Structure 1
Amino acid sequence: MPQTADDLDAVAVRTWCSLALDALGREREAIDAINVYPVADGDTGTNLYLTVESAAGAVEAVFAAHETGTSVPSTADAVRAMAHGALIGARGNSGTILAQLLRGMAGVLAEEAGARGGTDRLRLALTRAALSAREAVAHPVEGTVLTVATAAAEAAGRAAAGAGTAVVAQAAYEGARTALEATPGQLAVLGRAGVVDAGGRGLVAVLGALVEAVSGRAPVRVYEAPASPVPVAAAADDCPAADTPEGGPAFEVIYLLEAGDEAVERLRTRLDDLGDSLVVVGGDGLWNVHVHVDDAGAAVEAGVEAGRPYRIRITHFAADRVHTRPEPAQRAVVVVVPGDGLGGLCAEAGATTVLARPGEPPASGELVDAIRRAHAREVVLLPNDGDLRHTAAAAAEQARTEGIRVALIPTRAAVQGIAALAVHEPDRSFDEDVVAMTAAAGATRYAELAVAERQSWTMAGICQAGDILGLIDGDVAVIGDNVPETARNVLDRMLAAGGELVTLVLGEDVPDTLAGTLEEHVREGYLAVDTVVYRGGHQCAPLLIGVE
């Protein structure tokens, strides 16, 4: 149920994120359709959705830490998680600006929690958000999401003294909506296309979700997309050089960056010389960098000079336009992997990979992106994690609405994905290929070794912090005090039911000698059972085991 308390506490923040995600999910396609500025690439709605999805996921993770039900996170914890999630998941120009807006709000809401009434907190938060977003954009332009954010803050400031949080939120929403409707008269490219600013419309949706979160009532939605939205390519062709320069930057470059404030200031100057649409958001050593350039390598090198860039995404604008797309391949496989070593292995086999980091499972938007990136008419999706089944199903359903035939094979572990990929035959019919891959995955039992973080009850007894746990098919079956012994016991239990092939995936810090020890153990104890060994790489569990 929506939060109705007259303040923004942790539960209200959680509700806001959930409602904002729902709102952007409903409006994503309509917002994409009116995206003509700064680049008419039709992805603003999608980028905003992915950004908020990351924010909402981070807030849910904070609440999961209080899953006993005896407590809830503090407001500061919730809003900081929201801001951090948006920062690390920000996509595109619009998503990066939204991340900074949420960061600006979170700074005030966290600092002022308990220090003053909700009305003042929200007013201050909206003002800080609008100012910080403008500061993050190298060359602010009126008629964009920045204008809408400023109008929302000003309208909130004009709300009656002593008015409740819901009233201030409603005032901000109304101010943003009015400003949005005026954007076609402020930015010529919008006026010619007959649309409002796409990023601004997304922000109105987010503020509408805020109203519902604090009041329990959804605001009346009055803006509708044009009956026949201007096609993205046509809108781009109809814009003069002043709005979307002919032969403008060819690439969008985005990356997270660990760097100090001084280094980031130098980076801003360097990137501003290289291209346009520069937005750098963040702080406290972590930044999200977005820029449009012709020399993508130079933009990344500038980041290397400033600090440590990672999660680097480079998009070639021409490749995203319908009239330049290559002919799709017939079939592809998209696979989620727990380490870069397995990522390389699967890529060599022709799969499109998505890296799952510890504590940061991929969101449905990332899986949809990977399905699109595979650029095939038919796609087999291997999530390789039981906890991803709903996320993967949502991604598959979204891809199907875009005309892609997707088969989701519910693999629960990376070794099942490896087994499925090993029998993949693109020359077979799609149904036959899916059946064969499903059978191979289903015939593979899986296990992994993990280190116990604290004392707890398990199906194998009580474990202590630091114990080595052997999990078979997701349940703790063996508790040991060292990796080799625990691994041998796990193998014995799995092979007691028979098997023909053992797959071992070693984590980055596991010595090669372990593979030799386990191979010898299998060879001596189980005739006619072969063993294959792979390196999982960084972020992989100490040991993954598959038995087919």
Structure 2
Amino acid sequence: MFLVTLARAAEPREEPTVLQALDAAAIRRWAAVCVRSLDAQRDAIDGINVFPVADGDTGSNLLGTMRAALEALLRAPVDERSEVGAALTVLAKGALAGARGNSGVIVSQMLRGLAEALRDIDQAGAVDLGKALVRAAELAAGAVAEPRAGTMLTVLTASAAAARRVRSGVLHEVTAAAARAAGEALVLTPQQLDVLAEAGVVDAGGRGVLVLLESLVTVVNERDEPVVPYSTSVQSPVAAREAGSAEFGYEVMYLLDSTTDKAAIELRDKLGQLGDCVSVVGDGAGLWTVHVHCNDIGAAIEAGVETGRPHRIMVARFADAEGAPTRFGRARVVVIPARGAGIAALFRGEGALVLEIGPNDEPDVWDLLNLITSTGASHVTVLPGDEGLVGIADEAATRAVAGGQDVVVIPCASPVQALAALAVHDPARRSGDDVVSMAEASAATRRGELVVTSQDAITWIGPCQAGDLLGFADGDVMRIEHGPVDAAMVIRGACAVVDRMLGAGGELVTAMLGADAPEHLADELEKHLRSAYPAAEFVAYRGGQRDSVLMLGVE
């Protein structure tokens, strides 16, 4: 095998061919690859659309815009002998006429910038493309009334700057640098927009820009299928509009002609008084695309009539999207932060997703948030299983809800309560009914615990010293055994706590043995129950927790 490998390595290999310049044929292939790539990644992009209000159609809008651009190019009298600028001009006009949503409008301006920079050029080389990408970024930024860092504009600007810095004069090095910089900028978008960080996603529009640049890399490297060496893998919840405030219920778009540049600027100001996400952008030849989110549809259209001739008017009501099929990968999951490897394994065995917290680790809200958002579930039930974890569970849930997920935290002060809740979980039930059943099961489970105290303290039944064994029933100290602690003391204390708890009734006793529990503790406790409470069932698990010798649950 070693000799064969050497022989193959010695054989001369053909160097892969790459384009030295972009011509009209390359632009046509690029548009086609963009459409194929956006079609393949539409759901993934739709699913990470959370800024600034959750939506779920950025991928669909980008795909619709590029399809319109490609169709315009295929219908136009542009052949392989045409100038690259001429092909891009047709592509940009088609994108503008068929632009969908904010992202579509921005892409149409990106294409227009490329067309303007490469006008009257037969073939575009590396230097030409670098300049054109800078112009594309400038026009795209001009399409947005209030640009924000961490969006598709940021990704496009970073790619243009990187392409402009390449001095080699080699086309594929320019496209590779642009795509690489776009990928790096995309990864940083959660650091620039809090809502992205909280949802655990990158910007959806920025991801779309990366797809377009990756498609260009594919064409320049003369591949048939898209190559995506710079892609960023993301998972996350779906979102309810592509951009803008939830205050406005409608998206209004139309094409506008028979107007002037000055009138178009005035129209942008008028629409800004009616709503948000306003863009009024042109193709440089008298055609404008108008976009606004508002409540007064008539006023938005009337403003267009006063400015010029609106046509191809489209109105969408955001509330209608509520009935659309969900793009979450699954319907419902249960998430549990847990201390102790044994407890974590127990919950995993019952089908829950677990954030295992090590004995020396501090619980982190971001770790839990990342787990919640990465589930891809539309509804998440969180069972903290520890009084010290309820706070981070609440905060993580609040942030995940802001990103579009339905997250409910069921208060559980002990793993035995979380286990009881998980036991009645039924994914076939309505989510609301299931949450109620789990909450009732948790609340109905009384909890007990044996802990070796690490410091002197005063309890309501008397003082204790470091090294004493404390028995708890439902959070209250009910027994103090003065140390040093031995196996007999632990067994005696466990039986006393169970007696106190079963005094109020109960049919099932659950024991979770800590890392320091005596070897025969479960056997001795079961023997005591069989003698004193023969009707009670008993089950024991090796929890492995370090903070308590024994945890008990009574149902």
Task: Compute the TM-score of the two structures, normalised by the length of structure 2.
Answer: 0.52
Q: Do the aligned partners of 2:179 and 2:230 also contact (CA within 8 Å) in 1? A: no
Q: Equivalents in 2 of 1:53, 1:251: separation in Å?
A: 24
Q: Equivalents in 2 of 1:276, 1:270: separation in Å?
A: 11
Q: Do the aligned partners of 1:3 and 1:15 also contact (CA within 8 Å) in 2? A: no
The reply on whether 1:107 has 2:116 as its aligned counterpart is: yes
Q: Could you tell me the percent identity over the aligned residues?
A: 45
- Aligned residue identity for 1:49: L
The equivalent position to 2:93 in structure 1, one of 70, 84, 88, is 84
- Aligned residue identity for 1:248: E
Q: Which residue of 2 aligns with 1:43?
A: 57
Q: Which residue of 1 aligns with 2:180?
A: 174
Query: What's the RMSD between the two structures over aligned residues?
Result: 2.3
The equivalent position to 1:132 in structure 2, one of 139, 151, 162, is 139
Q: Equivalents in 2 of 1:136, 1:44: separation in Å?
A: 16
- Aligned residue identity for 2:69: A
- Post-superposition offset of 1:268: 1.0
The reply on whether 1:72 has 2:71 as its aligned counterpart is: no
Q: Equivalents in 2 of 1:267, 1:201: separation in Å?
A: 30
Tell me: CA distance 1:262–1:312, structure 2 relative to 1, closer, same or farther (3 Å). same
Q: Which residue of 2 aligns with 1:157?
A: 164
Q: Equivalents in 1 of 2:96, 2:153: separation in Å?
A: 17
Q: Equivalents in 2 of 1:52, 1:37: separation in Å?
A: 22
Q: Which residue of 1 aligns with 2:104?
A: 95
Q: Equivalents in 2 of 1:172, 1:216: separation in Å?
A: 17
- Aligned residue identity for 1:301: E
Tell me: CA distance 1:77–1:244, structure 2 relative to 1, closer, same or farther (3 Å). closer
- Aligned residue identity for 1:187: L
Local SS of the residue matching 2:119: helix
Q: Which residue of 2 aligns with 1:488?
A: none
Q: Equivalents in 2 of 1:207, 1:222: separation in Å?
A: 10
- Post-superposition offset of 1:319: 1.6
Q: Equivalents in 1 of 2:168, 2:304: separation in Å?
A: 46
- Aligned residue identity for 1:174: R
Tell me: CA distance 1:119–1:55, structure 2 relative to 1, closer, same or farther (3 Å). same
Q: Equivalents in 2 of 1:166, 1:107: separation in Å?
A: 22
Local SS of the residue matching 1:254: strand
Tell me: CA distance 1:323–1:22, structure 2 relative to 1, closer, same or farther (3 Å). closer
- Post-superposition offset of 1:211: 0.9
Q: Equivalents in 1 of 2:253, 2:222: separation in Å?
A: 37
Q: Equivalents in 1 of 2:313, 2:233: separation in Å?
A: 35
- Aligned residue identity for 1:139: E
- Aligned residue identity for 1:273: Q
The reply on whether 1:248 has 2:247 as its aligned counterpart is: yes
Q: Which residue of 2 aligns with 1:216?
A: 222
Q: Which residue of 1 aligns with 2:195?
A: 189
- Aligned residue identity for 1:287: W
Tell me: CA distance 1:179–1:301, structure 2 relative to 1, closer, same or farther (3 Å). same
- Post-superposition offset of 1:133: 1.0
Q: Which residue of 2 aligns with 1:206?
A: 212
Q: How does 1:398-409 map to 2 (within 5 A)?
A: none
Q: Which residue of 2 aligns with 1:27?
A: 41
Tell me: CA distance 1:221–1:173, structure 2 relative to 1, closer, same or farther (3 Å). closer
Q: How does 1:267-346 map to 2 (within 5 A)?
A: 267-282=267-282, 283-322=284-323
The CA deviation string for residues 47-87 of structure 1, in whole angstroms up to 9 with x for no partner, is: 00010011111121235x65xxxx63332321111111111
Q: How does 1:502-521 map to 2 (within 5 A)?
A: none
- Post-superposition offset of 1:162: 3.1
- Post-superposition offset of 1:281: 1.8
Local SS of the residue matching 1:110: coil
- Aligned residue identity for 1:100: Q
Q: Do the aligned partners of 1:3 and 1:213 also contact (CA within 8 Å) in 2? A: no
Aligned length: 306
Q: Which residue of 2 aligns with 1:61?
A: 75
The reply on whether 1:12 has 2:26 as its aligned counterpart is: yes
Q: Equivalents in 1 of 2:149, 2:230: separation in Å?
A: 24
Tell me: CA distance 1:112–1:72, structure 2 relative to 1, closer, same or farther (3 Å). closer
Q: Do the aligned partners of 1:3 and 1:214 also contact (CA within 8 Å) in 2? A: no
Q: Which residue of 2 aligns with 1:345?
A: none
- Post-superposition offset of 1:304: 0.7
Q: Do the aligned partners of 2:150 and 2:193 also contact (CA within 8 Å) in 1? A: yes
Local SS of the residue matching 2:190: helix
Q: How does 1:440-519 map to 2 (within 5 A)?
A: none
Local SS of the residue matching 1:321: helix
Q: Equivalents in 2 of 1:3, 1:106: separation in Å?
A: 26
Q: Equivalents in 2 of 1:225, 1:295: separation in Å?
A: 37
Tell me: CA distance 1:38–1:94, structure 2 relative to 1, closer, same or farther (3 Å). farther
The CA deviation string for residues 19-44 of structure 1, in whole angstroms up to 9 with x for no partner, is: 11111011001101111124422110
Q: Do the aligned partners of 2:117 and 2:135 also contact (CA within 8 Å) in 1? A: yes
Q: Do the aligned partners of 2:55 and 2:238 also contact (CA within 8 Å) in 1? A: no
Tell me: CA distance 1:323–1:127, structure 2 relative to 1, closer, same or farther (3 Å). closer
Q: Equivalents in 2 of 1:144, 1:5: separation in Å?
A: 30
**Which structure's CA Rg is the greater one?**
2
The CA deviation string for residues 441-472 of structure 1, in whole angstroms up to 9 with x for no partner, is: xxxxxxxxxxxxxxxxxxxxxxxxxxxxxxxx
User: Bigger CA drift: 248-257 or 278-287?
Assistant: 278-287
- Post-superposition offset of 1:190: 1.1
Task: Compute the TM-score of the two structures, normalised by the length of structure 1.
Answer: 0.53
Q: Equivalents in 1 of 2:251, 2:200: separation in Å?
A: 26
Local SS of the residue matching 2:276: strand
- Post-superposition offset of 1:278: 1.2
Q: Equivalents in 1 of 2:89, 2:28: separation in Å?
A: 12
The CA deviation string for residues 211-236 of structure 1, in whole angstroms up to 9 with x for no partner, is: 1111225241542231xx21326x99
The CA deviation string for residues 100-124 of structure 1, in whole angstroms up to 9 with x for no partner, is: 111111111224446xx61121011
Q: Do the aligned partners of 1:254 and 1:289 also contact (CA within 8 Å) in 2? A: yes
Local SS of the residue matching 1:137: coil
Local SS of the residue matching 1:297: helix
Tell me: CA distance 1:324–1:77, structure 2 relative to 1, closer, same or farther (3 Å). closer
Q: Do the aligned partners of 2:137 and 2:156 also contact (CA within 8 Å) in 1? A: yes
- Aligned residue identity for 1:292: H
The CA deviation string for residues 291-332 of structure 1, in whole angstroms up to 9 with x for no partner, is: 11121111111111110011111111112123899xxxxxxx
Q: Equivalents in 2 of 1:199, 1:297: separation in Å?
A: 29
Q: Equivalents in 1 of 2:76, 2:170: separation in Å?
A: 27
Gaps of 5+ in 2: 1-15, 327-555
- Aligned residue identity for 1:87: L
Q: Do the aligned partners of 1:152 and 1:172 also contact (CA within 8 Å) in 2? A: yes
